[in-house]
Amino acid sequence: MDRPTPARPAPRLPVLIVRPALESDAEALGRVHVASWQTTYAGLVPEEYLAGLKVEGRAERWRAGLANPESRTTVIVGELTPGEVVGFASFGPEREGLAPFTGELYALYLVKAAQGHGLGRALLNTAARQLREAGHRAWMCWVLADNPARHFYAALGGRPFREKPIEIGGRCLIEVAFGWQEQV
């Protein structure tokens, strides 16, 4: 008589938490910022530049920005495990006058281990909703043309509409602007 194979427990799905960033998240934001740059931009941005990124410096910038009551930048963080920040997005008014876009996603970064769980999508969707609620019916973001995650933005409805050169660590790179517009 064959013995039944015991059922395997279902894999535990991560909990997607997206919440406003707090000043106390500055260290975690600095850690995510540096780690994501060092993995995502390896081979694109000069190695010396990436090696020179310091968590403490980035954390101090985040701390100052989050403490500034006049800042027009909104920062949200993402967690897969409660209390462990593994991603973030920052956004606010568009900065270059690229009509019809009035809102801009300034940054969206996840540590490598957090990618592929839906957290990037959750951060982007939350940022888009908050931009709409703030009156921005069209918004955009800049992405390095050779960024391996560039297709993420296209898959979520962003349409490339402009390119510009940018210098990072002495290397000239190209950024692509992706835009989203609400259909009226």
CATH number, domain with residue 75: 3.40.630.30
The pLDDT of residue 161 is: 96
24 occurs within a structural domain:
yes
**Beta strand pairing status for 17-20 and 74-81?**
antiparallel
The pLDDT of residue 99 is: 93
6 occurs within a structural domain:
no
Average pLDDT of 89-109?
A: 97
User: Is the confidence at residue 1, as pLDDT, over 60?
Assistant: no
Structural domain harbouring 73: 17-136
Q: What's the sign of the alpha-carbon dihedral 141, 147, 152, 157?
A: positive
68 occurs within a structural domain:
yes
160 occurs within a structural domain:
no
The total of structural domains in the chain comes to: 1
170 occurs within a structural domain:
no
pTM over 0.75: yes
Largest Cα separation within the chain, whole Å, is 75
Q: 62: closest CA among 93, 44, 85? A: 85
162 occurs within a structural domain:
no
Q: 36: closest CA among 135, 122, 160, 120? A: 120
Q: 101: closest CA among 141, 45, 58, 72? A: 141
147 occurs within a structural domain:
no
